[in-house]
Amino acid sequence: MNFVFLSPHFPPNYVNFSKQLRLAGVNVLGLADEPYHQLSPELVAALTEYYYVHNAHNYDELLRALGYFTHRYGKIDRLDSLNEYWLETEAALRTDFNIPGIKNDQIQRIKRKSLMKETFKKANVPVAAGKVVRTLPEARRLIKQIGYPVVAKPDIGVGAAKTYKLHNDQELVSFFEQKPDVDYLVEQFIAGTILTFDGLTDLDGNLVFYNSLQYSQGIMETVNNDDQIYYFTLREIPARLEEIGRKVLKAFDVKERFFHFEFFRTADDEFIALEVNMRPPGGLTTDMFNYANDIDIYAEWAHLIAHRRFVAVATRPYHCCYIGRKDHKSYKVSHEEIVHALGDKLCYHTPISGVFSAALGNYGYLVRSPYFEEIQEMANFIQALS
């Protein structure tokens, strides 16, 4: 089996996907614009071959790379990066080389939030009222119907980048005066807690693993207010969340993929769909799956790709929590004090790439406990400001 891994070096923990694919007997063919000598030794050992391109945004270079791989190894069986940033590029390459997976005719409804919203509606999943607006008068007509506050976010965008909460007409006018020249979705602000429904499906669309995360606050608020965030896996997934999550899974026909669905949980216990992402949750969340369940999700994914087999049983004996800290904030306790105080409850800690730092911080800690109260105590301990 030939698997082309686009951008296999990023994020760093994703080297585990390549390692496990290789152990499962797959030819792992790396493709990126990262110089070969800058790849980690672990990744180099996992790759059958690496093709360097000067610019991964130059589609002609990528076409030549896949042509070379096809000539040398035969038909390409799979291509992926497991990364939101490259979804459209992957779809185009799969289309041109007839590789199984999401292709050009499917990509828009999993990239455009407005089309996601239409798919949610068809599946009878509740959504926030709103639509794409291109002019100030059009936005005012919409807001007259749904009221302030509203959220304005790029129709195609990753995370909470360039997303704004608008409280009045003055802020709306200011937004349009400096709005980037891209389509924006404006919708009613939903007060609630963000919960996710995440997991992995097999080639037939069967759910083989699922998980739920709860966030201390929204990514938009964290980025815009330069705040801190923590989020944790749930040991018990609300029945209504699982029910709606499975409906969304079916509506988007998710096959042989990780997925990350986001919902608002309101004060009256309603779940309102926010968006879908056809990749693993970001940051260190795949590692959190492992620590929460005592499994190896990287190996299970590789076996699913190579042998159509997923054997782990996720019993969720622990909550696992990601806790971020930002370099420019002053904290009560030092890193050394955290490591000493938490002991074996601290699973892992690492610097965080600058791409993610506005949301996740510059340094991240993974902790686990069977008890939610202990998770909260550890998050408060790590993030307490001096």
Greater pLDDT, 125 or 160: 125
Would you say residue 290 has pLDDT above 70? yes
Alpha carbons 187 and 128: distance in angstroms, whole number = 6
H/E run at residue 379: helix 372-383
Average pLDDT over residues 288-315: 97
pLDDT for res 30: 98
Give the tens place of pLDDT for each residue, 211-268. Answer: 999 999 877 777 778 889 999 999 999 999 999 999 999 999 999 999 999 999 999 9
| Residue 32 pLDDT > 80 | yes
Checking if the pLDDT of 161 tops 90, the result is no
The DSSP annotation for 342-369 comes to HGGGEEEEEE--HHHHHHH-SEEEEEEE
SS (H, E, C) 90-146: HHHHHHHHCCCCCCHHHHHHHHCHHHHHHHHHHCCCCECCEEEECCHHHHHHHHHHH
Band of pLDDT at residue 65, cut at 50, 70 and 90 = very high
Q: Using the CB atoms, write b or e for 345-370: b if 16+ within 10 Å.
A: ebbbbeebeeebbbbbbbbbbbbbbe
User: Hey, what domains does the chain have and what are their CATH numbers?
Assistant: 2-108 (3.40.50.20), 129-188 (3.30.1490.20), 193-383 (3.30.470.20)
CA-based nearest residue to 242, from 284, 290, 199, 285: 199
Backbone angles phi, psi at 174, to 5 degrees: -60, -40
Per residue in 351-364, pLDDT (tens digit) is: 998 888 888 999 99
Task: Give the CA diameter of the chain.
Answer: 60
Task: Judge whether residue 333 has pLDDT over 70.
Answer: yes
Is 353 or 67 the better-scoring residue by pLDDT? 67
pTM over 0.85: yes
Query: Is the separation of the CB atoms in 241 and 188 below 8 Å?
Result: no
Question: Position 385: which residue type?
Answer: L
Q: Which residue has the higher pLDDT, 355 or 144?
A: 144
> SS3 of 374, please?
helix
> Which is more confidently placed, 340 or 357?
340
* CA distance linking residue 37 with residue 52, whole number of Å: 11
Do the Cβ atoms of 6 and 26 come closer than 8 Å?
Answer: no
- pLDDT for position 225: 81
